[in-house]
Amino acid sequence: MNPTVRPVILSGGSGTRLWPLSTTNAPKQFLELLGEPLFEATLGRVDELGLGGTVTVVTGRDQLLAVERSLASKAIEGATVLVEPSGRNTAPAVVAAALISDPDDVLVVLPSDHVITDSPAFGDAVSKAVALAGDGALVTFGVEPSRPETGYGYIEKGEPVGSGFRVDRFKEKPDEGEAARLAGDGRHLWNSGMFVFGAGQILSEARRQVPEILTGVVAALPAETAGTITLGEIFSDIPATSIDHAVMENAANSVVVPLDAGWSDVGSWHSVWELSERDGNGNSLNGDVVAVDVTDTYVRSGSKTVAVAGVTGLVVVVTPDVVLVVPKEKSQMVRDLAAGWAATRRAD
Amino acid sequence: MNPTVRPVILSGGSGTRLWPLSTTNAPKQFLELLGEPLFEATLGRVDELGLGGTVTVVTGRDQLLAVERSLASKAIEGATVLVEPSGRNTAPAVVAAALISDPDDVLVVLPSDHVITDSPAFGDAVSKAVALAGDGALVTFGVEPSRPETGYGYIEKGEPVGSGFRVDRFKEKPDEGEAARLAGDGRHLWNSGMFVFGAGQILSEARRQVPEILTGVVAALPAETAGTITLGEIFSDIPATSIDHAVMENAANSVVVPLDAGWSDVGSWHSVWELSERDGNGNSLNGDVVAVDVTDTYVRSGSKTVAVAGVTGLVVVVTPDVVLVVPKEKSQMVRDLAAGWAATRRAD
């Protein structure tokens, strides 16, 4: 008998990488950044895959309304929504989803803020991963590196196993030199942060490796296993850890399935520019923009007119509070700016 | 007997070179761009010179209130204000000021939106010019070029005469190649747009060279010669021409007096940056600004926070309607942006 395959959609963090547009009150996955909000696109993708199991969303109180609206807008009925009192990274979220599932269920864990442009290729990879998970593997999707990205973790491929490879090693986000080496050696893949494993398997690994997380989630979880399930305040005492770090890195049966499906985690304004429709000058100009002699530039004008001249590769984003100006290639600096901005607000 | 020396302050145009901050409703000379508004700074400079004659301001209806406020704030009493129904460039304005003066008066014609950092040096140059004007010369102040500027006219020096030089030629704004030649040959000075001449002399040259302008101004001028004098609507029919072009270029007795007094016409955001106080990174950050790894940059945040990272030599100016982003060295492109913006508004 085939296992029930249950999509688990993580809609937790807000992130600061697309600040000032993405904020706690308006997280990336609910913005109309690239057309349809990424959360709805993720629901649509899951629906297309026809996995069959109940859709499970893990989210925070602040996002519950947006989640419910998105489920309704995509006509997804009977979903289970786990509501965290505060975000504790992905490990407690995944453990909670596993605990309300049947141990034989296979969980397909998907962040809600990623882009995948080739759904059929994604579907193929998911099928392969589900088959491997059915044999007890904990599967990570790995993406062939196209540049020496320092913003992702890397996975070292080992021996082939089924349609995947044993994971020899998970590597934390590397520095630039290391990233250049990893991206070029043909043995490393980007860790996409999407996973497939049996609910029983992941709980058993959690029990072995991070029993304090399992105990904490069990204590926070009420008796319900469907509908909207609000986790108790005690959930906030669980250490914030990623499922990669907490479990996958030291699991004996970690497998990576290569994914070539136009994946992006939309992790920077540079990515947003890359994923946007661009004009003949390589510009993505959104809203009221006057541009003269401008190339390879991303502008979002908000309620103002942005007038820009004589620049290349720049990002300009206007929100009700903030005007961001940063070169595309340096868009990781947005985090520093967001931190600086937050510090200013607190000082007020 | 020494002639009466009468300062004539031109506060006409609005200009688009400091768009979007400088607009028809808020012309450059009334903005607190570099501390005290330039119009008030000009009044202060005139007061310091102790020229003695009645201060005359030529302005437009839209600016009359701002002019009156500025005169009051600098405690300048008994000024004469000529109000144009529409701006016709400097020739008609200067002719009007000359017509309400005594023919023996010497006029010191000063735009209201220039910066002069060395008042004593300016005072010396004015004294020299007044002496030359007393001998019948039409004097222009010429500034030693410090760069191959294409935004100014140039004056070719001839034989020395008194403390100045005969003007061999006025040259229109040159192209880049020509500017490099002119700025480097030691014989050319920038035309500062500031002039000194006898009221009778300038009227006699105007009668000879541009009688239609003289006739037009005479027809528009009411009988008053003091207080607020409103020029008739017929003034708007006079051809818009600069005093340089209409009279100075072809006057037999044009003289240039060199000026080395920290002069600037604040004709671009680049100039504003140059004239602003800057921090150790060469930045002038005005308002609410978060900057990381930013150098030689000018920011004016308006009511937003401007968050800028990883750039050098950029200008970012936020107004209620517009966000301007342009490299400092390309700030002349602001005119194109202003034109593009105006075209968008009309299309609405």
ipTM of the prediction? 0.87
Residues B185 and B61 placed together within one structural domain of the fold = yes
Name residue, tokens 């080992």: A158
The answer to whether B40 touches B73, Cβ cutoff 8 Å, is yes
Q: Which of B60, B40, B47 is nearest to B7 (CA)?
A: B47
The whole-angstrom separation of Cα A215 and Cα A225 is: 17
Q: Name the domain boundary from B230, B264, B298.
A: B264
**Backbone phi, then psi, for A47, in 5-degree steps?**
-60, -45
Q: CB distance B323–A323 less than 8 Å?
A: yes
DSSP string, B184-201: HSSSEEEEEEEEEEEHHH
The answer to whether B224 faces chain A, any CB pair under 8 Å, is no
Q: Which of A283, A312, A311, A215 is nearest to B330 (CA)?
A: A311
The answer to whether B307 touches A340, Cβ cutoff 8 Å, is yes
Token pair of A191 as six digits: 């860790």
Domain with B259, as residue range(s), is 5-264
**Sign of the dihedral defined by the CA atoms of residues B180, B183, B184, B188, in that order:** positive
Residues A66 and A212 placed together within one structural domain of the fold = yes
Residues A101 and A178 placed together within one structural domain of the fold = yes
The whole-angstrom separation of Cα B91 and Cα B238 is: 10
Question: Any idea what DSSP says for residue A246?
Answer: H
pTM over 0.90: no
Residues B331 and B223 placed together within one structural domain of the fold = no
What is the C-alpha R_g of chain A? 20
Closest CA of chain A from B315, distance in Å: 10
Give the pLDDT of chain A (348 residues) as one tens digit per residue: 578 999 999 998 767 889 999 887 788 999 998 989 999 999 999 999 999 889 999 999 999 999 999 999 999 999 999 999 999 999 999 999 999 999 999 999 999 999 999 999 999 999 999 999 999 999 999 999 998 988 899 999 999 999 999 999 999 899 999 999 999 999 999 999 999 999 999 999 999 999 999 999 999 999 998 999 999 999 999 999 999 999 999 998 999 999 999 999 998 999 999 999 999 999 999 999 999 999 999 999 999 999 999 999 999 999 999 999 999 999 989 999 999 998 887 765
**DSSP H helical ranges for B149-268:** 176-184, 199-209, 211-220, 243-246
The whole-angstrom separation of Cα B162 and Cα A201 is: 99
C-alpha distances in Å from residue A317, one per residue of A203, A279, B194, B304: 43, 18, 42, 12
The answer to whether B42 touches B66, Cβ cutoff 8 Å, is no
Q: CB distance B290–A326 less than 8 Å?
A: no
The whole-angstrom separation of Cα A253 and Cα A250 is: 9
Count other C-beta atoms under 10 Å from residue B62's C-beta: 14
Contacts of B112 (CB under 8 A, 6+ apart): B9, B10, B11, B29, B38, B39, B42, B57
Chain A residues whose CB is inside 8 A of the B311 CB are 325-327
The answer to whether B306 touches B290, Cβ cutoff 8 Å, is yes
The whole-angstrom separation of Cα B157 and Cα B166 is: 6
The answer to whether A339 faces chain B, any CB pair under 8 Å, is no
Give the pLDDT of chain B (348 residues) as one tens digit per residue: 578 999 999 998 767 889 999 887 788 999 998 989 999 999 999 999 998 889 999 999 999 999 999 999 999 999 999 999 999 999 999 999 999 999 999 999 999 999 999 999 999 999 999 999 999 999 999 999 998 988 899 999 999 999 999 999 999 899 999 999 999 999 999 999 999 999 999 999 999 999 999 999 999 999 998 999 999 999 999 999 999 999 999 998 999 999 999 999 998 999 999 999 999 999 999 999 999 999 999 999 999 999 999 999 999 999 999 999 999 999 989 999 999 998 887 765
The answer to whether A111 touches A192, Cβ cutoff 8 Å, is no
Q: CB distance B307–A333 less than 8 Å?
A: no
DSSP string, A266-322: --SHHHHHHHS---TTS-EEESSEEEES-BS-EEE-TTSEEEEES-BSEEEEE-SSE
Strands (E), A215-264: 228-230, 254-259, 263-264
Q: Which of A75, A32, A29 is nearest to A55 (CA)?
A: A75
**Backbone phi, then psi, for B265, in 5-degree steps?**
-95, 10
Chain A residues whose CB is inside 8 A of the B334 CB are 309
Residues B37 and B103 placed together within one structural domain of the fold = yes
Question: Any idea what DSSP says for residue B172?
Answer: P
The whole-angstrom separation of Cα B262 and Cα B115 is: 7
Give the pLDDT confidence score for residue A343 in this predicted structure. Answer: 87
Q: CB distance B337–A307 less than 8 Å?
A: yes
Question: For A100-134, b where at least 16 C-beta lie within 10 A, e where not — what string?
Answer: bbeeebbbbbbbbbbbbeeeeebbbbbbbbbbbbb
Q: Which residues pair with A110 in a beta bridge?
A: A9
Residues A176 and A281 placed together within one structural domain of the fold = no
Residues A95 and A165 placed together within one structural domain of the fold = yes
Give the pLDDT confidence score for residue B12 in this predicted structure. Answer: 85
**Backbone phi, then psi, for A22, in 5-degree steps?**
-85, 120
> Cα angle vertex B296, ends B293, B301, to 5°?
80
Q: Which of B339, B94, B269 is nearest to B194 (CA)?
A: B94
The whole-angstrom separation of Cα B65 and Cα A346 is: 41
Q: CB distance B310–A324 less than 8 Å?
A: no
Say how many domains are in chain B.
2
Residues B259 and B280 placed together within one structural domain of the fold = no
Q: Name the domain boundary from B264, B282, B311.
A: B264
The answer to whether A86 touches A14, Cβ cutoff 8 Å, is no
**DSSP H helical ranges for B6-118:** 38-49, 64-73, 90-99
The answer to whether A341 faces chain B, any CB pair under 8 Å, is yes
Q: Name the domain boundary from B264, B295, B318.
A: B264
> Cα angle vertex A265, ends A260, A269, to 5°?
125
Residues A101 and A201 placed together within one structural domain of the fold = yes
**Backbone phi, then psi, for A83, in 5-degree steps?**
-110, 115
Chain A residues whose CB is inside 8 A of the B303 CB are none
Which domain CATH number covers B100?
3.90.550.10
Residues B223 and B325 placed together within one structural domain of the fold = no
**Backbone phi, then psi, for A322, in 5-degree steps?**
-135, 145
Q: CB distance A305–B341 less than 8 Å?
A: yes
CA dihedral (B55, B56, B61, B64) in degrees, to 10, reads 0
Burial of A174 (0-12, 13-18, 19+ CB in 10 A): buried
Q: Which of A168, A162, A201, A204 is nearest to A185 (CA)?
A: A168
AA identity, residue A146:
S
**Backbone phi, then psi, for A246, in 5-degree steps?**
-70, -40
Token pair of A319 as six digits: 């929100």
Burial of B35 (0-12, 13-18, 19+ CB in 10 A): exposed
Closest CA of chain B from A322, distance in Å: 5
The answer to whether B100 touches B54, Cβ cutoff 8 Å, is no
Closest CA of chain B from A193, distance in Å: 28
Closest CA of chain A from B25, distance in Å: 18
Residues B181 and B275 placed together within one structural domain of the fold = no
Those of residues 81-140 in B touching chain A at CB distance below 8 A are none
How do residues B235-283 score in pLDDT, each as one tens digit? 999 999 999 999 999 998 999 999 999 999 998 999 999 999 999 999 9
- Residue B326 has its nearest CB partner, among A304, A308, A321, at A308
Residues B332 and B248 placed together within one structural domain of the fold = no
Q: Which of A15, A1, A53 is nearest to A196 (CA)?
A: A53
SS3 B135: coil
